[in-house]
Amino acid sequence: MEFDLIERIRQRAASRREDVLLGIGDDAALLQPPPGHVLAVALDTLLEGVHFPVATAPADIGYKALAVNLSDLAAMGATPAWALMSLSLPHSEQRFVDRLLDGFMELAAPYRLALVGGDTVRGPLAVSVTVHGLVPDGQALRRSGARPGDAVFVTGTLGDAAAGLACLDHARVDADRLLGAAPESRRKLVARLNRPEPRIAAGQMLRGIATACIDVSDGLVADLGHLCAASGVGAHVDADALPLSSSLLTLFAGQARDLGLAGGDDYELCFTAPAERAGALVADLARMGCGATRIGRIVEGDAVIVKDAAGKAMKLPSSGWDHFR
Ligand code: ADP
Ligand code: MG
């Protein structure tokens, strides 16, 4: 690919991490993991029209491509260290890549994450990021440790990103209402879609406390289902306990609970811990600026059952996953 484009990426990716022995420019990066740690490695691809809407700002694409990957590290309790980025571009446009890197670097900087390599090809617009994180030996969080009696928690609020996507869907029957009403709420929901906040600090804090953890990318019921399957347990969720934002309730009152249960792309953490630790855990996370809510409990069996206020099992909305336009 064009030398200029890669040279530009190299200049902007210059990092001061001492564990980067060699960054962009050779055939491979040379990285020095610290002793006493394991590497947590994850890769996620964002494809235009599938994982972000056509017409998403390039800076938002760069931000989100890194954010969804950091969310996977958060769910493992890992500390971000290095990333590789594969760019597939329909045109090799310097300005587009610069804006994309603006968003990527804005999120990378506070974590001192170094972009150490990648690949650049011509093709449909897509961004793949591979992240490498560090976890002290034996302390990584997994999906598989939940036990009957554990409490189930979720960070932040749910359903906002799916609602943000709905706000961008001009074909909706209520598009005019969504455009006209509560612009601040609308802006917040769209920001949750385009700029998810990976819960890195919460994941690190949960090491040695959470019995299992997963990030919510496909929707709460689906992802809690994955956690339960990995742990060989079931779960009861109290629908009325779901944390829903005021923006979501303002614009989507009637659908808020279903969006919270099934909406994807929120990138909050869903985790389990012994019930007797619930109070202190929620207080500690709140002190860190990361709200967390107890939403249910782990039971024997293999089903995720959502109960209404009367304790009756609810019929669940279909999965939140949807094609972006
Ligand atoms: P090679 O043919 O050895 O794969 P490339 O021309 O693809 O070399 O890449 C040259 C250097 O630029 C390598 O160090 C590679 O990691 C880096 N690089 C290429 N594309 C990107 C990208 N999108 N982001 C970060 N680094 C990149
Ligand atoms: Mg290459």
Tell me which residue has its CA closest to atom 16 in ligand 1: 117
Q: Is the pTM of this model over 0.85?
A: yes
Tell me which residue has its CA closest to atom 24 in ligand 1: 118
CA 282 to chain centre: 20
Cα distance between residue 35 and residue 317, in whole Å: 47
Sequence ranges of the domains in the chain:
2-136, 151-307
Q: For the domain 2-136, what is the CATH code? A: 3.30.1330.10
pLDDT of res. 170: 74
pLDDT-derived band of residue 68, with 50, 70 and 90 as boundaries?
A: very high
Pull the structure tokens for residue 217. 């990318």
C-alpha 86 to ligand 2 mean position (Å): 9
pLDDT at 173 over 90: no
Domains 2-136 and 151-307 share a fold: no
- In short, whether 62's Cβ falls inside 6 Å of ligand 1 is no
Which has the higher per-residue pLDDT, 203 or 175? Answer: 203
CA of 1, nearest ligand number: 1
pLDDT tens, residue by residue, 241-295: 999 999 999 999 999 999 999 999 999 999 999 999 999 999 999 999 999 999 9
Which has the higher per-residue pLDDT, 316 or 200? Answer: 200
Residue 187: HSE in the Cβ half-sphere, 13 Å Cα cutoff: 3
C-alpha 44 to ligand 2 mean position (Å): 18
Q: Give the mean pLDDT of 115-123.
A: 96
- In short, whether 24's Cβ falls inside 6 Å of ligand 1 is yes
C-alpha 88 to ligand 1 mean position (Å): 12
Place of tokens 């972000």: 52
Fold (topology level) of 151-307: Phosphoribosyl-aminoimidazole Synthetase; Chain A, domain 2 (3.90.650)
Angle, alpha carbons 69-60-5 (nearest 5°): 85
